Amino acid sequence: MSSRRPVESASEPPSVFLSLSTVQANRSLILSAILAIAAGGFAPSTTSFAAQHQAAKPAAHKAAAQKKASVTPPSVTPSAEPGGPPALAAKAWLLMDYDSGQVLASENPDEPLPPASLTKMMTSFLVEQSIRSGKLKKDDLVSVSEHAWCRGSSTESCMYLPLNGQATVMDILRGIIVQSGNDASKAIAEHLAGTEDNFAKLMNAEAKRLGMTHTNFVNATGLPDPEHKSSARDLAILARAIIHDSADFYPIYAEREFTYNKIKQGNRNALLYTDPTVDGLKTGHTQEAGYCLVTSSKRNDMRLITVILNTNSMQARADQTRALLNWGFSRFEKAVPIQPNAQVAVAKVSFGKADTVPAVLGAPWTITVPKGQKLETAAQLNPDLQAPIAKGAVIGKVVATSGGKPVAEAPLVAQADVERAGFLLRMWQHLLRLFGK
């Protein structure tokens, strides 16, 4: 077995559980290290008892002062506002409700930042959608060009595909998601689009379709480039699309390890090993991007998505994600403002065989609100509705408010068809409107 161990994207230093020389022989050490990272890291080393007593008091005081000065500030601190989210030492972060897409809390959610290997969520998403559409088959073979090959590097994360070799689409997909392979990402980009530059165009087109308005992809890997950016909100939108549109492939994002070419590599998302409610999605790191993490967790009937960008360590991104999830699940709950089949309002219709049409929800409506919050709803119908109106056509919206502030809204649709009236009836209705009746 090879002893080469990859690091995230371009420059992530080997983690405690990724830098061991022989993975299979030290599997227990790997899992122990992961648990230690997620639980708060290893205890700091100290000088021996004898050495402490041999030192003079002034030297001891000086060493203590230096140690105190070098302590890293905590990455998570209590909120400054009662009941508010924890304060996180990250450049940007976001908490989103999966079902509704509501942003429950955030800091700098729209600032374009280097996303590092979080980029590979778009790469894997395009692969998944290509399989679903039939453009790719799971057992198709993907060739490895010199551009894609990692050259045996230990300075970037690799699947370790052999030069001029081939791998199946599904192995490539796991190499992207679990092993964060730059070689896998480049190889599939060339397979789908001819070149990585052309694949980046596909990535940007999909980002635009999804509404990722603060994103620009230059490559398939997240390797540093001044023009390669995304935001916390955009990455949450992408994560939501993966969970919803790639349901057949989403379990791969929870896989803890993958072996290819006799090299076993573990997933770098430490929460997958310590929180059974976490089932994805992706880690990332470069020197410029810092340590990043996009995570999804489902507890009971609620799924939350978190994004952490540019924090200072693997432990920090795990701690911050854990704190944000715990706060979100303890603070919020699901609410159904209106039952799906309930009539919300009656809309007036002009020039139709019927004068009115019932307005109902177009789809089941569930929103996430602070626990115990009371909601009120009000319908807002489109003015001057005229026949013909098709069943299911949007004819207004309903707005949910709490304490007079809007919380969420949903479209209202016509419950039935309204046919256009005949000529004589329409003329009579024109006259009634003319005289204000």
Q: What confidence category does residue 92 fall into, taking pLDDT thresholds of 50, 70 and 90?
A: very high
Pick the catalytic residue from 9, 15, 157, 180.
180
- In this prediction, residue 210 carries a pLDDT of 98
Residue 5 has pLDDT above 50, yes or no: no
| Per-residue pLDDT reduced to its tens digit, 279-317 | 999 999 999 999 999 999 999 989 999 999 999 999 999
pLDDT of residue 152: 66
Is residue 267's pLDDT more than 70?
A: yes
Rounded distance between C-alpha atoms, residue 95 and residue 317, angstroms: 14
Cα separation of 1 and 24, whole Å?
Answer: 9
What integer pLDDT is reported at residue 429 of this predicted model?
59
The predicted model scores a pTM of 0.79
HSE, side-chain direction, 13 A CA sphere, residue 64 = 8
**What's the average model confidence in pLDDT over 133-144?**
98
Instruction: Quote the pLDDT of residue 421.
Output: 77
Distances (CA, A) of 104 to 62, 292, 368, 404: 46, 19, 8, 18
Which residue has 């009836």 as its token pair? 425
Task: Report residue 346 CA to chain centroid gap.
Answer: 39
pLDDT in tens, 195-240: 999 999 999 999 999 999 999 999 999 999 999 999 999 999 999 9
Q: In whole numbers, what is the pLDDT of the chain averaged over residues?
A: 84
Report yes or no: 415 and 396 within 8 Å, Cβ to Cβ: no
Model pLDDT for residues 344-368, shown as the tens digit of each residue: 999 999 888 898 999 999 999 989 9
Q: What is the DSSP letter of 86?
A: P
Question: Could you tell me the end-to-end alpha-carbon distance of the chain, in angstroms, rounded to an integer?
Answer: 87
- Active-site residue, selected from the candidate residues 117, 230, 231, 246: 117
Least confident of 15-29, 80-94, 285-299, 385-399: 15-29
Residue of 386, 283, 385, 373 whose CA lies nearest to 337: 373
Query: Which string of DSSP letters, residue by residue, matches 244-295?
Result: HHTTTTGGGGG--EEEETTEEEE-S-THHHH-TTEEEEEEEEETTTEEEEEE
Q: In this predicted model, which residue has the larger pLDDT, 433 or 235?
A: 235
pLDDT value at 166 more than 60: yes
CATH 3.40.50.410 fits 76-333, yes or no: no
Facing residues of 408 across strands? 400
Mean pLDDT of 115-138: 98
Length of the chain: 437
Q: Which residues pair with 304 in a beta bridge?
A: 97, 297
DSSP for residue 416: S
Active site residue 117: yes
Worst-scoring range by mean pLDDT, 47-51, 203-207, 321-325, 352-356? 47-51
Q: From the candidates 120, 186, 282, 397, which is the catalytic residue?
A: 120
Max avg pLDDT among 27-41, 74-88, 304-318, 392-406: 304-318
Supply the pLDDT for residue 175: 98
186 has a pLDDT exceeding 80: yes
Q: Which range, of 149-158, 341-350, 378-387, 398-407, averages the lowest pLDDT?
A: 149-158
| CB neighbourhood size of 76 (10 A) | 18
Segment 123-132 shows an average pLDDT of 98
Q: At what angle do helices 196-210 and 232-245 cross, to 10 degrees?
A: 90
As beta bridge partners, residue 347 has 357
Report, as an integer, the average pLDDT of 133-159.
91
The separation between CA 95 and the C-alpha centre of its own chain, rounded to angstroms, equals 9
Q: What is the mean pLDDT of residues 169-182?
A: 98
Distances (CA, A) of 273 to 32, 257, 309: 10, 11, 21
Residue 410 is predicted with a pLDDT of 93
Check pLDDT > 80 for residue 65: no
Within 13 Å, how many C-alpha atoms sit on residue 404's CB side? 0
* Residue 415 backbone dihedrals phi, psi, to 5 degrees: -80, -20
Split at pLDDT 50, 70, 90, the class of 437 is low
Angle among Cα 322, 254, 308 to the nearest 5 degrees reads: 35
DSSP for 10-70, written as a single string: TTPPPPTTT--S-TGGGHHHHHHHHHHHHHT-PPPP---HHHHHHS-HHHHHHHHHHHHHH
Is residue 300 a contact partner of residue 243, using CB atoms and an 8 Å limit? no
**pLDDT score, position 351:** 85
Model confidence at 27: pLDDT above 60? no
The 10s digit of each residue's pLDDT in 376-388 is: 999 999 998 999 9
Confidence of residue 390 (pLDDT cuts 50, 70, 90): very high
Output 228 or 408, whichever has higher pLDDT. Answer: 228
For domain 343-434, give the CATH superfamily.
D-Ala-D-Ala carboxypeptidase, C-terminal domain (2.60.410.10)
For residues 178-186, average pLDDT: 97
CA 114, CA 10: separation in Å to the nearest integer?
A: 12
Q: Average pLDDT in the 405-417 region? A: 93
Domain boundaries, the chain: 76-333, 343-434
**What gap in Å lies between CA 266 and CA 32, rounded to an integer?**
13
Q: Where are the alpha helices (DSSP H) in 303-373?
A: 314-331
The helix or strand, by DSSP H or E, that contains position 96, with its residue range, turns out to be strand 92-97
